[in-house]
């Protein structure tokens, strides 16, 4: 029977061969599908989709409040900060699925023996994770906005706040993805990657009140403000305050906006550089 299968002659391919942009996009889409477990087993869809559902709950509550009580629930600018544990769990559980399998099962040589460079590979992975995270933020915020338009509250719709939240969400996603993927890529084991990312998040958020109260109790209020920047969600919120003039979602004030922006850019750069170094090392094995 197998000889029948073999007897079909070999056909050469003389169709188009597309450039690096095409393969990078294809890899990003492939990875994005992987984040949500699409094309994988049902089990790998449970975590991302249940977290995405949890993200929608406050949006539904907000809409209900607008519809029944005629007043706003959560402000657009505070959504990501309020939902930070869910976003952090999503990052921790899904970032390793983006990077770990290719390292663990040594799939990387199959990419690098093709016209795909390390830069394109890392770029596609970061783009995929960023897209997934910002979808998680943008979907509920957009739902609230649509709800606001439909319910037609008193006063003009908060279009500027809504768009500001989308831009901030994108920036937050880029920051979380580049740092999260860099941490996750350090280990080829998925479970260890999950644990490392969540540990870094817990450390960063637990250190905020400790550093803040220590500095505040010694009367160093200006120094205490910097403590907020230890947590990525408040850090990006500080940038939002600077860029869009929203009210801070922390008790007290943030340091001057440009510095916060600088910290965000520096952290993203460190994350990307760590990823590039990590993969350069993996490729030379």
Partner 1 sequence: MHILDTEGLTRRFPTVTALDQLTVTAGPGVTGLVGANGAGKSTLIKILLGLLPPTAGGARVLGLDVTTRGAEIRRLVGYMPEHDCLPPDVSATELVVHLARMSGLPRTAARERAADVLRHVGLAEERYRAVGGYSTGMKQRVKLAQALVHDPKLILLDEPTNGLDPRGRDEMLTLIRRIGTEFGISVLVTSHLLGELERVCDHVIVIDAGRLLRSSAIGEFTQATQSVTVEVDEGTGPLAERLTGLGHAVTPHGRLLLVKATGPETFDAIRDAAADLGLCLIRLERGRHRIEDVFREEVESVV
Nearest residue (CB) to partner 1, 75 versus 101: 101
Nearest residue (CB) to partner 1, 206 versus 277: 277
Asked whether position 217 contacts partner 1 by CB under 8 A, the answer is: no
* Ranges within 83-122 binding partner 1 (CB under 8 A): 101-102, 105-107, 109-117
Nearest residue (CB) to partner 1, 170 versus 276: 276
| Burial (CB count within 10 angstroms: exposed 0-12, middle 13-18, buried 19+), residue 155 | exposed
Residue choice 8, 42, 53, 69 for contact with partner 1 (CB under 8 A): 8
Asked whether position 38 contacts partner 1 by CB under 8 A, the answer is: no
Asked whether position 252 contacts partner 1 by CB under 8 A, the answer is: no
Residue choice 15, 155, 156, 219 for contact with partner 1 (CB under 8 A): 15
Asked whether position 256 contacts partner 1 by CB under 8 A, the answer is: no
**Stretch of 35-43, 82-90, 208-216, 261-269 contacting partner 1, by CB under 8 A:** 35-43
Nearest residue (CB) to partner 1, 40 versus 160: 40
Nearest residue (CB) to partner 1, 48 versus 169: 48
Residue choice 19, 155, 156, 219 for contact with partner 1 (CB under 8 A): 19
In whole angstroms, how close is the CB of 54 to partner 1 at the nearest point?
Answer: 25
| Residues near partner 1, by CB under 8 A | 2, 5-6, 8-13, 15-19, 22-23, 26-27, 30, 39-41, 44, 101-102, 105-107, 109-117, 283-284
């Amino acid at each position: 029977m197998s000889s029948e299968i073999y007897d079909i002659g070999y056909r050469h391919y003389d169709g188009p061969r597309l450039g690096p942009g095409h393969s990078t996009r294809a890899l990003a889409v492939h990875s994005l599908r992987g984040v949500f477990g699409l094309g994988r087993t049902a089990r790998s869809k449970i975590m991302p989709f249940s977290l995405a559902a949890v993200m929608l709950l406050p949006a539904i509550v907000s809409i209900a409040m607008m519809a029944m009580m005629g007043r706003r629930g959560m402000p657009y600018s505070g959504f990501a900060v309020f939902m930070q544990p869910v976003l952090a769990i999503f990052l921790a559980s899904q970032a390793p699925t983006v990077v770990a399998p290719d390292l663990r099962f040594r799939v990387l040589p199959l990419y690098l023996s093709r016209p795909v460079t390390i830069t394109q590979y890392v770029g596609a992975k970061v783009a995929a994770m960023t897209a997934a995270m910002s979808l998680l933020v943008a979907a509920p915020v957009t739902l609230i906005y649509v709800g606001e338009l439909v319910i037609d509250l008193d006063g003009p719709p908060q279009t500027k706040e809504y768009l500001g939240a989308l831009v901030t969400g994108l920036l937050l996603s880029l920051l979380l993805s580049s740092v999260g993927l860099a941490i996750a890529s350090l280990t080829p084991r998925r479970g260890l990657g999950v644990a490392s990312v969540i540990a870094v998040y817990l450390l960063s958020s637990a250190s905020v009140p400790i550093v803040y109260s220590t500095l505040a109790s010694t009367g160093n209020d200006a120094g205490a403000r910097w403590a907020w920047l230890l947590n990525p969600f408040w850090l990006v919120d500080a940038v939002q305050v600077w860029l869009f003039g929203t009210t801070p979602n922390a008790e007290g004030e943030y340091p001057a906006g440009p510095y916060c922006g600088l910290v965000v850019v520096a952290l993203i750069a460190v994350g990307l550089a760590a990823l590039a170094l990590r993969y350069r090392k993996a490729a030379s094995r």
